[in-house]
């Protein structure tokens, strides 16, 4: 893939950038450039370019606005102490986007082109990667959408893949603290044969009303159960779940209708190496309640790119509550191990880190 570059003639001034990077928040500031490549059935992927960041002009009949044919990814670029910039398992994001795109009847962007696109943009905007103090990073958002102007219902014949970047502050400002969860018994996230395993905006659209309910109940996040029996724990709106047992065994819900997090799969490997085998299987909501009550479940945590690993506190539902599990020791150990690899402070025995520049 040949990538052309048109540098911005109005990049953010150094002084303003310093101000932004001191307190970036999440998803509100965007870098000076963006990456775009387009696809048509005849031309394949073509016209790859890094251009100044700016709004898109879309015809009101652009297909994605009507039928939500869209996939996305979320990953981070980390600055190491020697000034170099690295991404974490970018080929895993590329492979997942390929699986998501297949499910959404979108064309597949080859893995090496996905990684090259992210590398090109992050290199161009490397001054936007915050220093490693306080778990800051550059959040990278690749996405693909049906850009054909057509209201008929069929896979789009014109597709656009883009990458944008946004500096991100630490997810937890005053130190890591447990999230409280609301169990929704009314809404589900995904059913068998649906698109629960795909990273697509529609899954988030369908989770918002449940998340809103959780906030209304004074909780941080919502927990979804399986759609068929309403019995098995799936995941949160955007994070996977882990259950640590008193004997050191760890259980995480099996895949199929959940989104397979890259943090999730990294923790399976990391925990194994630390002597905690991980079982992937169904875990019922009764097992959660009873396990915490009996002390058999000693820790629960959630994981995803944004928060890395976060302890789970109490679980509430209509008419009841399960208290927070007793400990957060292994949760915090796994969190630290992962963060240390990402920021280059520990060895990377798995070969997960990819140097960008």
Interface contacts to ligand PLP, rule CB under 6 A: 74, 199, 203, 235, 238-240, 259, 261-264, 304-305
Q: How far is the CB of 263 from ligand PLP (least distance, A)?
A: 3
Q: How far apart, in whole angstroms, are the C-alpha atoms of residue 228 and residue 233?
A: 12
Nearest 5°: phi and psi at 345? Answer: -95, -10
Question: Facing residues of 225 across strands?
Answer: 233
Q: How far apart, in whole angstroms, are the C-alpha atoms of residue 65 and residue 77?
A: 30
Tokens for 23, please give them.
Answer: 């307190």
Q: How far apart, in whole angstroms, are the C-alpha atoms of residue 221 and residue 312?
A: 10
In terms of CB distance, is 48 or 106 closer to ligand PLP? 106
From the list 283, 251, 268, 276, the residue with the least C-alpha distance to 350 is: 268
Characterize the bridge pairing of strands 137-146 and 278-280: unpaired
Q: Which residue is nearest to ligand PLP (CB)?
A: 261
Q: How far is the CB of 138 from ligand PLP (least distance, A)?
A: 15
In terms of CB distance, is 50 or 259 closer to ligand PLP? 259
In terms of CB distance, is 124 or 266 closer to ligand PLP? 266
Tokens for 99, please give them.
Answer: 């699986």
In terms of CB distance, is 62 or 240 closer to ligand PLP? 240
Task: Judge whether 312 and 300 are in contact, CB under 8 Å.
Answer: yes
In terms of CB distance, is 199 or 289 closer to ligand PLP? 199
What distances in angstroms separate CA 31 from CA 36, 126, 128, one per listed residue? Answer: 14, 9, 7
In terms of CB distance, is 94 or 239 closer to ligand PLP? 239
Q: How far is the CB of 39 from ligand PLP (least distance, A)?
A: 23
In terms of CB distance, is 50 or 195 closer to ligand PLP? 195
Question: Facing residues of 245 across strands?
Answer: 297
In terms of CB distance, is 32 or 135 closer to ligand PLP? 135
In terms of CB distance, is 125 or 235 closer to ligand PLP? 235
Residue 13: DSSP 8-state: P
Q: How far is the CB of 134 from ligand PLP (least distance, A)?
A: 20
Task: Judge whether 284 and 230 are in contact, CB under 8 Å.
Answer: no
Q: How far is the CB of 34 from ligand PLP (least distance, A)?
A: 21
Q: How far is the CB of 135 from ligand PLP (least distance, A)?
A: 15
Q: How far is the CB of 313 from ligand PLP (least distance, A)?
A: 19
Q: What is the 3-state secondary structure (H, E, C) of 117-179?
A: HHHHHHHHCHHHCCCCHHHCEEEEEEEEEECCECCCCCCCCCEEEEEEEEEECCCCCCCCCCE
Cβ-proximal residues to 97 (8 Å cutoff; 6+ apart), any chain: 71, 72, 73, 109, 114, 142, 144, 199
Residue whose structure tokens are 């068998």:
192
Q: How far is the CB of 86 from ligand PLP (least distance, A)?
A: 16
Residue 299 half-sphere exposure, CB side, CA atoms within 13 Å? 20
Q: How far is the CB of 328 from ligand PLP (least distance, A)?
A: 19
């Amino acid at each position: 893939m040949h990538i052309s570059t048109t540098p911005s003639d109005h990049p953010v001034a150094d002084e303003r950038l310093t101000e932004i990077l001191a307190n970036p928040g999440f998803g509100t500031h965007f870098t000076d450039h963006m990456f775009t490549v387009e696809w048509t059935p005849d031309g394949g992927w073509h016209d790859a370019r890094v251009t100044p960041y700016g709004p898109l002009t879309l015809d009101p009949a652009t297909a994605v606005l009507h039928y939500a044919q869209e996939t996305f990814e979320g990953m981070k670029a980390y600055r190491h102490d020697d000034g170099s910039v690295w991404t974490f398992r970018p080929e895993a994001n590329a492979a997942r986007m390929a699986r998501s795109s297949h499910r959404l009847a979108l064309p597949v962007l080859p893995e090496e082109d996905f990684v090259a696109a992210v590398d090109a943009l992050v290199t161009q905007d490397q001054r936007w990667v915050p220093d490693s103090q306080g778990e800051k990073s550059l959040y990278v958002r690749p996405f693909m959408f049906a850009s054909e102007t057509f209201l008929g219902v069929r896979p789009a014949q014109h597709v656009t893949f883009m990458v944008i970047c946004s500096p991100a502050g630490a997810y937890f400002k005053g130190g890591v603290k447990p999230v409280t969860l609301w169990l929704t018994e009314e809404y589900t996230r995904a059913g068998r044969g649906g698109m629960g395993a795909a990273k697509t905006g529609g899954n988030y659209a369908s989770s918002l009303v449940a998340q809103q309910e959780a906030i209304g109940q004074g909780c941080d996040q919502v927990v979804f159960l399986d759609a068929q029996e309403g019995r098995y724990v799936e995941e949160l709106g955007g994070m996977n779940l882990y259950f640590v047992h008193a004997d050191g065994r760890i259980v995480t819900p099996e895949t199929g209708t959940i989104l397979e997090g890259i943090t999730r799969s990294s923790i399976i490997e990391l925990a194994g190496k630390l002597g905690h085998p991980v079982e992937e299987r169904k875990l019922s909501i009764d097992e959660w309640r009873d396990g915490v009550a009996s002390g058999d479940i000693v820790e629960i945590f959630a994981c995803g790119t944004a928060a890395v690993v976060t302890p789970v506190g109490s679980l509430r539902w209509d008419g009841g509550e399960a208290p927070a599990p007793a400990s957060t020791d292994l949760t915090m150990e796994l969190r630290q191990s992962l963060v240390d690899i990402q920021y280059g402070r520990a060895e990377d025995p798995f070969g997960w880190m990819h140097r960008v520049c």
